[in-house]
Chain A
Amino acid sequence: MAKHLIDLVDIRKSYGSEDALKRINLYIRDGEFLTLLGPSGCGKTTLLRLIAGFTMPTEGKVLIDGQDVSTIPPYKRRVNTVFQKYALFPHLNVHDNVAFGLKIQKLPKDEIEARVEEMLELVNLKGYGKRWVDELSGGQQQRVAIARALVNRPQVLLLDEPLGALDLKLRKGMQIELKRMQQRLGITFVFVTHDQEEALTMSDTIVVMNEGTIQQIGTPTDIYNEPKNVFVAKFIGESNILPGTMKQDFLVNFHGRDFDCVDKGFRKNEPVDVVIRPEDIDFVSPEKGMFRGTVKSVLFMGVHYEFRVECGEVALTVHSTDYAEPGSEVGIEIVPDAIHIMHKSDAPEAAAPVETEDIPDDAADDDRIIEN
């Protein structure tokens, strides 16, 4: 396994009486694409700024390559940042923006030229060196910002919501390009976003944050398929969350009947939250279903339809490519794989998600939970 490049140890950061970050423990492996994902105000940008060195932790340590850099200023760290609004120097042209860091390092002129050229080529801006940055489109400015950071060959590239200002099509294109650059250069990327889709597309590892704490760390599939709590389940994609009881390993009771499932390790008869993704619910004929429901509304979403289905007291959101008439009765089928069991949100485990290490089956998902 790749070595730890960055270790964040017991980080707390407060602004006045407000804690922006509460006891964060996280390591970042060399060469991975890690995304800090969360709603605005969750502390993800603060965490990024701590790694960059623009702010100092109130408590705790930031280690880069095993060295404590908590009090080292940003210009002495081998870390570069792509800023949210690019922060390109308006008094310099594209070439000089990209060359800025190399000139500071006082590298020989021909090496600077060669590296700037190489970088402009990497970001598809060959021949744009003489242009002023305000003559460029948003997408092009974005590329200059990336080139300006990467040309210094940092150990870590930090990206603070860099795609936020781009339109959907450009954003999609840049997602793929960023991932391509990261794989080609083998540099560790730490990416901050509030866009769950972006996080799922690009990341090796996603760190879901809320209110200054880490909610869950895992691969995109882990995070999507096995959300650890209601927050993660609701933030990543859409989900139906139903109250239930864990009868025994692999057997859960909700909506008045028992279902087979693939989760274990809960206490006998422990109250749990059951997560079912809308696309994992299948329609069958009413008599064949596990239970019945009435279609209340239908929305056409392009690839699929979105249904609201009322089943007794609960209403389910269902995504299906099959059409069902509003008002019609349908049978609901849920396969064991589609059922994901979470500890209750108000249970102590969920209230303090950093202590999830006592959940045996989760610990197997990602070794870094243990570090928490």
Chain B
Amino acid sequence: MKRTVFAYPYVVWMLIFILAPMLMIGYYAFTSEGAFTMENVVGALTNEMYMQVLLRSVWIALKATVICLLLGYPIAYLLSNMKKSTASLLSVLFIVPMWMNFLLRTYAWQVLLSPSGLLNGLLEVLGLPTQQFLYTESAIMLGTVYNFLPFMILPIYTVLSKMDRSLIEASHDLGANSVTTFLKVIFPLSIPGVISGITMVFIPAITTFAISRLLGGGKFMLYGDLIENQFITLGMDAWGSGSALSFILLVLVLISMAIMRKAERDAGEEGGGKLW
């Protein structure tokens, strides 16, 4: 028996759950009552409200990615410099929340940030005026960063902890102090991890929905919410425009992935181990 047989269930899985939905998106995006049309896509691209939502999504995803990088890199760096046992214990702490459902975690933040929640309770105890935390853009940002931070930390941590320590010693040996060593050796060598971290945060962040609804109170609709809306609220009639929106997002994701790949290749050409 050929060993390729064992790949068949996977192929079937891919056909049903990946290829078929994509084809359906394509079908609904480019047809109207069975006939080919560009109407849906052109309509989605020329709708001013939709484009505003798209820009906001890109902007929030970019900001969240930058914040994740600024927070995640130092955490990954500290973890990689710890004793192996301490580091694996701490990285479990970062991973454990991911075992819980994403919606559940976001609901938890809703409770924490609410006017009568833990955070405002703390302010009251300190005698400070309570704040409107919930339903702000900052709340969406917090939720996004919180949910996707581990995806930034882990790839960077992996690259840093696999780095040959003697390279750092060699840099010190050649006269570089710790700051110079970081800038000239450690950071350049960790770029593959940074790029996959950015990819793994930016793409889910740009496609996310629910976070904006739960923590933004629907005031700040994102592209993911818009798509959800088309299908859930508007029903069958809006499948065409919903698919067109999905298709646009898909193209956007593919473009950003291509950019990341190119950035990784450029970094790879300057040496640097590849993560994938």
Contacts and interface: CB of A to CB of B under 8 A. Distances in A.
Given A87-B166, A87-B169, A152 B175 contact: yes
B271 A52 contact: no
Nearest to B185: A89
Contacts of B161: none
Chain B contact surface mostly = helix
B164 A75 contact: no
Interface stretch (A78-86, A189-197, A229-237, A248-256): A78-86
B163 to A, nearest CB: 10
Interface in A135-151: 148-149
A269 B134 CA distance: 96
A91 B180 contact: no
Interface stretch (A33-41, A100-108, A293-301): A100-108
B170 A89 contact: yes
B263 to A, nearest CB: 14
Interface residues of B, number: 21
A132 B171 CA distance: 18
B173 A89 contact: no
Contact of A148 (B164, B174, B180): B174
Given A75-B176, A134-B271, A91 B189 contact: yes
Contacts of A88: 170
A286 interface: no
A104 B176 contact: yes
Interface in B161-206: 164, 166-167, 169-177, 180, 184-185, 188-189
Nearest to A158: B173
A336 interface: no
Given A91-B270, A91-B271, A104 B174 contact: yes
Contact of B175 (A75, A85, A91): A75
Given A52-B169, A100-B171, A133-B271, 11 more contacts: A54-B173, A74-B169, A74-B173, A75-B174, A83-B169, A87-B166, A88-B170, A90-B271, A92-B270, A134-B271, A148-B174
8 contacts: A83-B170, A87-B169, A91-B271, A91-B272, A92-B271, A100-B174, A100-B184, A104-B175
Top 9 closest pairs, chain A to chain B, by CB: A91-B271, A101-B174, A90-B271, A87-B166, A87-B170, A104-B175, A74-B172, A91-B188, A91-B272
